[in-house]
Structure 1
Amino acid sequence: MSTLDEVGARDGWRCWLCDEPVDPDASVNADLGPSVDSGGLPAAGGGKAKKGKKAAPAVERLAHRACNTRKGAVRPVVPWGADLFVVDPAPIVEIVERLGRTGGREVVARCPSRSDADEAAAWLVDRVSRLAPDLPVTAEVTPGGGQFLLALRAV
């Protein structure tokens, strides 16, 4: 088990759930104070246990105490940016888990314009880089059916 300072330094003192800064000097009892979430995403290549093998352990992640408490023992929900114009966005945590486990490419949302898709693609690659630093991804935007499809590819 890592110390709070080790996890905070590795995660750049950003909450893995809400992606907002965490004050390293705040009290651990304060809502916006730091805490370690040991129920985060599994390491890349991990996930559910295969027959006869153990699942990869979840990576300890930095979270605000309130975010960690709100999440509890349930699967985390990492929201898409509120200012993005995306239609049918896929759940970010599940995207990251699948790409980390199987690699490949996955369509994750639709956007009405190229500029909306480009903005969402840049945001998503940046967000995934902090959410799962050991999973390098690129975004692809392709036109189709009067809209633009946004896909992530594990590299």
Structure 2
Amino acid sequence: MGMSKLDEVGDRESWRCWLCDEPVDPNMSVNDPRGPSVDGIFATKKGKGGPERLAHRACNTKKGAVAPVVPWPDSLFVIDPAPIIGTVERLTRKPGRVAVARCPSQADAEDASAWLLDRLSRLAPELAFETSIESGGGGFLLVLRR
């Protein structure tokens, strides 16, 4: 018998949940909240099937029929952060630039930029993103481009 879809998706995703970015144990029961599940994230949108992604059962269930949320970590100093999934979807449809957060200092913006690019490398590995930091308005604007 060949590899299951779960094993295939899990191996491709390096056994990390695409929603919370935490490891997924491939040996845990699929019925356990921390167990593995396959999320057909964009599969129902206008008949266009997006890639299936690996998620913890609880992350997948919690998301349900609502748009998934990838949180910005509390350790970053970001003001008015843009929703990451919505921003990625928008830049996927139409490449360009989107301001994703304001930061009080250049160092905060650099930390947020490094985290965001690292997170997007796993969230949307097929897309190439870059960031820039623009000074203005007493702070620093983090801009994402594709």
- Could you say which TM-score interval applies, normalised by the shorter chain? over 0.9
Query: 1:13 and 2:5 equivalent?
Result: no
Deviation at 1:143, TM superposition (A): 0.7
- SS of the aligned residue for 2:7 comes to helix
- SS of the aligned residue for 1:115 comes to helix
> Contact conserved, 1:35 with 1:64, CA < 8 A, in 2?
yes
- SS of the aligned residue for 1:94 comes to helix
Structure 1 residue runs of 4+, over 4 Å off? Answer: none
Deviation at 1:106, TM superposition (A): 0.8
Counterpart of 1:31 (choices 30, 33, 36) is 33
Deviation sequence 1:91-150 (CA, Å, 0-9, x none):
000000011110111111000000100000000011111111111101111111110000
Map 1:130-149 onto structure 2 (within 5 A).
130-149=122-141
Q: Percent identity?
A: 63
Looking at structure 2, the residues matched to 146 and 48 of structure 1 have their Cα atoms a distance apart, in angstroms, of 40
Counterpart of 2:78 (choices 81, 86, 93) is 86
- Report the number of matched residues: 143
> Contact conserved, 1:41 with 1:93, CA < 8 A, in 2?
no
If the length of structure 1 is used for normalisation, what is the TM-score?
A: 0.87
Deviation at 1:74, TM superposition (A): 1.3
Give the gaps of 5 or more residues in structure 1. Answer: 50-54
If the length of structure 2 is used for normalisation, what is the TM-score?
A: 0.92
> Contact conserved, 1:7 with 1:36, CA < 8 A, in 2?
yes
Deviation at 1:29, TM superposition (A): 1.1
> Contact conserved, 1:11 with 1:61, CA < 8 A, in 2?
yes
> Contact conserved, 1:110 with 1:150, CA < 8 A, in 2?
yes
Give the gaps of 5 or more residues in structure 2. Answer: none
> Contact conserved, 1:41 with 1:97, CA < 8 A, in 2?
no
